[in-house]
Amino acid sequence: MARNLMIQGTMSGAGKSILTAGILRVLAQDGYKVAPFKSQNMALNSFVTRDGREIGRAQALQAFAAGMEPSADMNPILLKPTGQTASQVIVNGLPVGDMRAADYFGKKKEFIPEILGAYERLSERSDIVVIEGAGSPVEINLRENDIVNMGFAQMVDAPVLLVGNIDPGGVFAQLLGTVQLMSAQERARVKGLIINKFRGDKKLLDPGLSMFKEYCDIPFVGVVPYADFELEEEDSLSEKLAVSGGFVRGGSAGAGNVIRIAVVRLPYISNYTDFDIFEKVPDAELIYTDSVEAVKAADMVILPGTKNTSNDLKWLQEKGFDKAIFEAREKGSLIVGICGGFQMLGQRITGEDVAAGASAGQDNRAVSSAELKGLGLLPVETVFMDEKTLVQNEGVLGGASGEFASLNGVAYRGYEIHMGQSFGVAGEVICDGNVLGTYIHGFFDSAEVTGKVLDIISKKKGIGSVCDGRLDLWTYRERELDKLAVVVRNSLDMDYIYRVIEGKA
């Protein structure tokens, strides 16, 4: 069995996911076969493995950091919120149904055999497993049935490093309060403390590290500086999802030459990282917005994926985004729908998911009709069924027409995650003039696909190509992970961390 190490945080947003990825990268660079593990994750940002299983996007990123193929064993329980008090429950990569929060809380210990089975399989093919906790380990009302923090650390006898985020302030109180709320048995597992996201001169922090010894005898393992790594984030806390009212900056050739891309910030937006590549283009401005005016002003409007197509479609129509999208299309802007956003662009949506929205635990905006009228911009109809499509795919694009015809013959790779089936689609994409729909998540990760789309916009605006020399997202991710590893190696006492892993600290 593999040795292990667990990274827990004082709160959500402490930076556990990225720090775990960095530690994995360092261990992999040092020649160890390493793997990430998170027993339970709650996220709408997910990834499909090669064998058609669904896991949290953060664990996929950590797998890439470790140099491993992502596997459902790395995240055996994934919760995808469908409303304020309910989630779709995914076990070992496959959906088992929707549950209200109270029902899941009462049943989650039943999933322990599945969790331990996944961990054991992963451990058998690894030297070291780096485990990520969730939220805070000292939510005292949740301690009894814990399967993701100290409860799981006890199950697999894992030593723990506790991470606090200094950026919002109060990091010493975070760390001390967390440790003091632990039982003696739990506290004994904590082998080191990490301060994350530090800005400024570390010499000014050193006196505080020394004074802290008066209150807590757990040693500090390091102080990690604030760094702007362009890597996938957990969706619920991403700063980029703080909605924007409109476009704010100009490009290098003047404000009129900036390519403006507006992603509609749906209430149940999922896989928003599909559009990260546009942030690498200096002359493109990408915003996530709830402003109809921003949609009207955009050169490209994107309807992203959603975990609740029916409710988000109703929200879209109630807020007037349908009219704004029609206006943008008429003025010549490109309109793109991905997955749930693609379904919304069609003629209508029918099926069990639409009819039974309220019974699935969705909030009080849940629809009661058995049919919803789509935006009518693409000649497709979607029918929801129980079976979920989970598949990786790659190949050469076909089916593009109209203003998107230049995409035909371009290589792509991505994955599909959706409950509905859309009829009227002949290829990977379906187009009508300046409107395109596809089920492919990661559609824009390819530099060639992105370049073709931005060239369409550039020609409309009468400017030169803005994509010369752009990297694809896969290459860019590897470069960022290597940069992360340098920061982690320089900031943490890796010799001590190895002693922790070996049981010698």
Q: Chain centroid to CA 55: how far?
A: 10
DSSP 238-294: -GGGS-BSS----BTTBGGG-EEEEEE--TTEE-GGGGGGGGG-TTEEEEEE--HHH
Q: Return all residues near 139 (Cβ < 8 A) that are at least 6 apart.
A: none
Question: Pick from 330, 407, 411, 423: which is nearest to 374 by CA?
Answer: 423
In this structure, how many other beta carbons lie within 10 angstroms of the beta carbon of residue 256?
10
Helix orientation angle between 309-318 and 321-330, rounded to the nearest 10 degrees: 80
Chain position carrying tokens 């919760």? 79
Which is the catalytic residue, given 339, 418, 431, 467? Answer: 339
Active site (annotated) includes residue 418: no
Active-site residue identified among 418, 431, 441, 467? 441
Q: Which of 469, 407, 409, 495 is nearest to 444 (CA)?
A: 407
Active site residue 441: yes
- 242 burial level (CB within 10 Å; 0-12, 13-18, 19+): exposed
Phi, psi of 223 (to 5 degrees): -125, 115
Contact 400, 407 (CB under 8 A): yes
Q: Which residues are catalytic?
A: 339, 441
